[in-house]
Structure 1
Amino acid sequence: MFFDGSLDGPDALGVIDPVLRDIAGWGAQVRLAEVASADALAALAPGDRPRAIVAGGADGRLFRAVLEPVCPVPFVAWPHRGLPGWAGPLDLVVVVCRSGQGEDEISAVAEARRRGCALLVAAPPDSPMAAAAAGRGTTFLPAGSADPTALAVPVLRALHVMGLGPQVESEPVAAALDDVAERCGPSVPADVNPAKELALGIADDVPVVWGGSVLAARAARRVAEALRSASGRPALSGEADQLAPILEGAPEPDLFADPFEDGGSSAPRPALIILDDGADSPAAVAGRARLDAAAGSGSVRVQEVRATEGPDIGRFAALLATGRFAAAYLALGLGRPA
């Protein structure tokens, strides 16, 4: 049972204060990552273009989402141990690890060194991954942040200097995250707080999260993971054609159900969450229309999270931060650990 009074209760909010403070600090972490990597970035210069880029580790797909449309060489996300069999001295391997201790990431770095690949690595300076990466041909960005977006920004900046990616500035990304923290923080009442409104809207439902662009879809997957962890219930993300049948087949709402008497025994219904980053490609527009129609036919609630200003990575970060705030409030209302 969801207790909505907890979302504006100071004592209840104190329980999840460390989590909320962490998310609210993402903008500051972007700025700190910029300062920490300034010397390494200043030493970079355009060089010979690699044959291909391999992004190892869990964040490889994020880099692919940003780079693939504009990267002048083939780009492969490799979220496995080691590297693809074809990777060699002509290729650039990019690996990011917040802890510097990830086994898959260390394996990718060690294999890149063994094969003579160029390396771009972001990790804590005194970590096992930093030790594995040390050597000629490695560009090392020291990382002291637990936020993957904060680590991604200097890596994207480095790739731009190398002539392999779009220009990315830290401050617009940090400002977008600061804006989310201001609008979604615990002191903002539920009726004007986008994250609290989102948590209230999915309190008793199964979240179905969709984003129309490649980056918004990436954010949708991560928001669904956070909501799933917060609620202990299913939370789905995917392509519009995958999600539409779920909305169309939603159980009929029981207008006379009493959650206190029935004990929440009625069949759970989906609730559609649209992550809108301003994408207006034909595929995004068609996907949105398909889901709106499916939600209408199934009488499914639709909620929208919008971040349509600023750079692509800033909009991604804002969507993700709003979803993470919502997940924390959802856990609080359900009496679960955030």
Structure 2
Amino acid sequence: MTRPSFDDARLEAPEVQDSPALRWLAETGARIRRATMSEPLGDIDGADRPRGVLVIGQEARLVRAVLEPVCPVPFMAWPGPSLPAWVGPLDLVIILGNHDASPWEVDCAGEAARRGATIIVAAPADSTLGAAASSSATTVVPATDADPMAAAVAVLGLLGQRELGPAFEPEQVADAADLVAGLCSPFHEIGSNPAKDCAIGLAEGLPLVWGGTVLAARASRRIAEAMRRASGRPALAADADELETILRAVTPRDPFEDPYLSDVEAPPVLMLLDEDKVPDRLNGVARRLSNIAESVGVRVCSISSGEPGLESSDVERYVTLLQHGRYAAAYLGIGLNSSS
């Protein structure tokens, strides 16, 4: 695949301030506040601790990444298309959806209600999904915005209050999204805008995204999805071993070659998320990937969720990483003239 034409002047054009993609990103904090401040409909506080927890739907893997290390009962993110046979009245089923929930999610909601399971459903109260999950043991978290992440944060906050997950302040998560929006605002020029700078780094290559922690790995997949949507070209999020295999197969770049005149395939660009916060067992992994990339002339971009010593919750760090990556993807699309 030859390199598309990226024009960094588009990032500074006055009309970029009216970009729908950037406006949607800037409103993330507000959507999180609306989702977390909406009063749940139901009596989840009166329910007993469940025997097990099952989550399905959009952002189920985010909920799993946050809950699995601390949840005091067995937990599973379920890909469908039918409800597991073991789910019954002693279990909690979490369903993350919207007006456009898939038929199998609606079927699972109805089946969970028929089996008498305790249900938390994040969806509009008047949606097909909400109606299917309706029972005396159902709690509805109203999701009025089409933002699965905001709904997931609201559900995670509710689970934290029930001691099924880590406690955190949803307002601080919204503040984290607002902070990224301020740093990556289109009003900031390239020299002071980390997302624009990252987009320029990605302009000539195909993103390979690696996350140093469990949540960073989850964010890496969402960022790769955003890159693909914005640019219309491949982007890969994968484990270190898989990325290392790809990097070792790259033909070393000729330093005397003119990248604008040569008709060669676009090289990869390595994106490292939270490389400074990896667990002890992964010490040196990010360094090894960087060394391999640099040895073959592959550019390396890093995104951090903040200083390691900061007392931020995992959810705050996830949102920070994801928003930085999404802003970079939006500016990449604008520079390629493939998004508005």
Residue in structure 2 matched with residue 321 of structure 1 by the alignment: 323
**1:256-271 mapped onto 2 (5 Å cutoff):** 256-262=256-262, 265-271=263-269
- d(CA) in 1 for partners of 2:320, 2:194: 12
- Give SS of 2:77's match: strand
- Tell me if structure 1 keeps the 8 A contact 2:44–2:137: no
Deviation at 1:200, TM superposition (A): 0.3
Deviation of the 1:251 alpha carbon: 2.1
Select which of 326, 332, 338 maps to 2:334: 332
For residues 36-92 of structure 1, what are the alpha-carbon distances to aligned partners after superposition, in whole Å with 9 as ceiling and x for unaligned? 13x548x54264221111101131111110000000111110122221222222211
Residue of 7, 17, 42 corresponding to 1:3 = 7
**Match of 1:322, SS?**
helix
RMSD value, Cα: 1.9
Further displaced range: 301-310 or 173-182: 301-310
TM-score (norm 2): 0.92
Matches within 5 A, 1:210-221: 210-221=210-221
Q: Structure 1 length as normaliser, TM-score? A: 0.92
Instruction: State the Cα distance separating 1:225 from its structure 2 match.
Output: 1.0
How far off is 1:244 after superposition? 1.0
Q: CA separation in 2, counterparts of 1:277 and 1:168?
A: 23
- 1:304 alignment partner, SS class: strand
The answer to whether structure 1 residue 188 and structure 2 residue 188 are counterparts is yes
Percent of residue pairs identical: 45
Q: For residues 220 and 330 of structure 1, what CA distance do their matches in structure 2 show?
A: 16
Tell me the SS of whatever aligns to 1:294: helix
Runs of at least 5 residues in structure 1 that lack an aligned partner in the other structure: none
Q: Please show how residues 87-102 of structure 1 align to structure 2 within 5 Å.
A: 87-99=87-99, 101-102=101-102
Confirm or deny: 8 A CA contact 1:278 1:307 kept in the other structure: no
Are the aligned partners of 2:124 and 2:130 in contact in 1 as well (CA < 8 Å)? Answer: yes
Task: List per-residue Cα deviations over 1:228-277 (Å, max 9, x = no partner).
Answer: 12222211111111111212222222334445544xx2122111111117
Q: Contact 2:220–2:237 at 8 Å: present in 1 too? A: yes
Q: Which runs of 5+ in 2 are unaligned?
A: none
1:45 match: secondary structure: helix
Match of 1:312 among 311, 314, 332: 314
Q: Is the 8 A contact 1:71 1:165 kept in 2?
A: yes
Distance 2:89 2:171 in 1: 35
Counterpart of 1:87 in 2: which secondary structure? coil
CA distance in 2, matches of 1:293, 1:161: 44
Query: Equivalent residue for 1:285?
Result: 283
1:3-51 CA distance string (max 9 Å, x none):
111011113x15x6111111011011111112213x548x542642211
CA distance in 1, matches of 2:183, 2:51: 44
